Amino acid sequence: MLSTDMDGTLLFDGRISDADARALARWREAGHLVVVNTGRSITALASALDGTGIAYDYAVLYTGAVLLDAADRVLAARSLPDGLVDEVLDVLSAEDPITIFCTTISGDLRLRHTHLDGTALLTAFTDSTTADLAGRAVIGIPLHLGDPSAVDRIEAIIAERWGAHLTGARNQDFMDLIPAGVSKGAGLTELLAMITAPGGAHEGETLRTIAVGDSWNDMSMHVVADVAVAMGGAPQDVVAACDDTTPSVAALVDRYLAYEATGEPGAV
């Protein structure tokens, strides 16, 4: 099983390379599983993959809060308590510049927008108010920070005010506020347990996992994987926590498929 991050791992400047797309197809044709493991929502993942021809077997989305199968059926989902978005918006709107988003199963909203620098990470968000959340379960609250040095201060606010319900996952100049206990690693662990359990699609199988990512929110995924691989441009502490690095997903796939074909340990 290859568990791959999206932004900064597969997706660069809003595009996935043909080489990476073909490599993922070869991986699946060889009988292996592809899991997209990302902070993106259902809507944002669909937007990123549109026109690429990339297929996946499972997806771990919203930084681990939602699991999907290949047919985009929700296998599991965790949401935030009612009313928590209003509290977060009231408190964090004092941070400036900042853009505060809100992700749900049925669509994504932008609630405050004072950080005007563009980003390709979040492309399908509708300008809205909290009134537009009526009847929707909120999965996460992504923040786009104009001042990356604010991360430590915001993490302290989250821990003090909402630590029982909310945690923050850092990704470059973004922070995803997600249900407490949720992470990419926890999502991957839950998915593995689900599909190998009695009645699961891979009942009784032992699946070897390879995780590849580029940022701090990937580290929990790296911890639970059998092999942890950092992108070459990842922060040094992320690289140090991994077993290996790769310049691209295609290069990683090619190495492992070559090892399967030749049995030469040097290929891995």
pLDDT digits (tens, 9 = 90+) for 186-198: 999 999 999 999 9
Q: Give residue 113's pLDDT.
A: 83
Q: Give residue 169's pLDDT.
A: 85
CB atoms within 10 A of CB 30: 12
Q: Hey, which bits of the chain come out as E strands?
A: 2-4, 11-12, 15-16, 34-37, 58-61, 66-69, 74-77, 98-104, 107-113, 126-127, 138-145, 166-171, 174-179, 210-213, 227-231, 244-246
Residue 180, phi then psi, degrees to nearest 5 = -55, 140
Q: Give residue 189's pLDDT.
A: 98
Q: Give residue 116's pLDDT.
A: 60
- Give me the residues of the chain with pLDDT under 70, please: 116-124, 172, 264-268
Q: Give residue 263's pLDDT.
A: 80
Beta strand 227-231 with 244-246: parallel, antiparallel or unpaired?
Answer: parallel
Beta strand 66-69 with 244-246: parallel, antiparallel or unpaired?
Answer: unpaired
